[in-house]
Structures are given as C-alpha cells and as structure tokens.
Structure 1
C-alpha cells in the first residue's frame, strides 16, 4: 500500500495557481489515481451564483477526495467581502476501507502543496461542509490574521 511517496501531477499545481490568481476557477477536486501513486485533478468548477452547492454535489458519495475552494464570505465586524482558500478532506463513511486508508496516509503530504491555506476541514458527510460552519471557520481565520 502506498505511503506518502506518491507524486502530484503537474496539472494539480497549475490548476491551483489558476484558482489562487485567476477568476475562472472557484474549486478543484482532486483524487488519487487508480494505481494509488499519484494525485490528479478530478474536476474543477467556475464562478457562478451557486458554486458552493455545485462543489458539494460534485463530491462522490462513496469515494474519498481532496479539494480546495476559493470561498467568498462576509465577516460581520469587517466591511466588505473576504476570500479564503479552504482545504477539504472528504472521506465518506461509505468509502472502501483501503481507499480511506490511502487518503488518510497521504493527507499530510498533499496538504503541503497548500501552504497559506489556514482553513482545513475534514468531513465524512456533506453536513460537515455546511456553508455556515465553513464560513464560521473562515471568519475565525480572518479574525486571527
């Protein structure tokens, strides 16, 4: 079984740069390939009114994923919208045990790619990614800056 010796496909880094500095991508969902030796981009989503709902509905119900999302939100004490890049670790209860183990073993190494993301959320059910919970964590991160 692979450990953190897996590789990250160059497209992951390119897509992440587009998310950070561009306007075309709001979220990226990553997966570990079938050989369990490389993280690849599974899908991306663009900016639209319901991008968060699309992101949540894009997470597979029985397969783990990593994801990043460029969240725009309001902080009550601060005027204007704020943005934070949120890192998600998705491991649904219905996932295969081996797949969950591979994702868990590689989580720390993969997160190193996301230096500067101060909000990390893990979930096994979509309710763990409720927009109010995520916004609250993002607001706390803004307050700590």
Structure 2
C-alpha cells in the first residue's frame, strides 16, 4: 500500500487504476464464446486509458495457431490475453486448458505496467473459467514449452 501511495503522489499511478478498470461487456461475452463454443482460439484485451476500461482488441479464429497469437501481441505495450491451448495427455486424450496471460514487456512504459498490474486481478475475476495464469515480459516466458509444462 505504501508503494501505491507513493506512485499516486508522483502521478505514476492514478487512483482509479489502483482499484481497477471497468470491464466492457464484450470482454466477458467473447470469453464465454471462447469457453463454451470454442468460437475463438485467443482473445487479446487492451486497457483504453481514456475510457478507463478493458476492451477486446483482437479475436483469433479457431484455425489460428500459437504463432498467430504471439504475433498479435505488441512488442512494447502491455496486454491481457486468453489462449485456448489444445494438447494430448500421456493417456492419449485430447484436452484443452484456458490460459490467462498478463503480457508486460520490459520495453513498455512504466505507467502502463502499473495500470495493467493493478487491474489484473479484478479483470481476471470477470473471466470465469481461467485454468492457468502466466505472466510474461518476453516471448520465451510464454513459449509452447511453458504452456506444455503448465498443463501437466
């Protein structure tokens, strides 16, 4: 709390960011479509600072692969993302897990990192059905090998 107060005083963190951003209804609707109907492979969410809310930025079609997903994440801006990861178990069963990714590259602005970090838990609670969470600052922290290791 002391750090948050310091950041507020310095103008790095806004009061509303400390309590979380509003979540656009579309964020939850698209997530439910991904979860229940598998309409999308992934969803990328962006915080619109002016509107003070999280919105859907991009939807990945079911045929899109992991490479399409990672290419959709900006190299120098934070984002939230959900990825429906398909895999085969040791018993040869086809399964999937829904990953929540907090993407915060080292090259993104400090203010942006703070807003995304302080809003993450509230936003994640809005998406009922997240099975695995990852935090990544560069692509190696969310490689396919990391996904595979987290489902077992």
Instruction: Answer yes or no: is 1:117 the counterpart of 2:130.
Output: yes
Higher Cα Rg: structure 1 or 2? 2
Contact map agreement 2:42 2:61 (CA 8 A) in 1: yes
Extract unaligned runs of 5+ from structure 2: 1-13
Alpha carbons of structure 1 residues 138 and 114: separation in structure 2 relative to 1, 3 Å? farther
Q: After TM superposition, list the pairs within 5 Å mapping 1:60-71 onto structure 2.
A: 60-71=74-85
CA RMSD, Structure 1 to Structure 2 (Å) = 1.3
Aligned to 1:129: 142
Extract unaligned runs of 5+ from structure 1: 140-145
Tell me which of 61, 65, 81 is aligned to 1:46.
Answer: 61
Moved over 3 A (4+): none
TM-score, normalising length: structure 2: 0.85
Contact map agreement 2:28 2:127 (CA 8 A) in 1: no
Aligned to 1:74: 88
Instruction: Answer yes or no: is 1:57 the counterpart of 2:53.
Output: no
Tell me which of 26, 37, 43 is aligned to 1:28.
Answer: 43
Q: How many residues align?
A: 137
Contact map agreement 1:86 1:121 (CA 8 A) in 2: yes
Aligned-partner SS, 2:56: strand
TM-score, normalising length: structure 1: 0.89
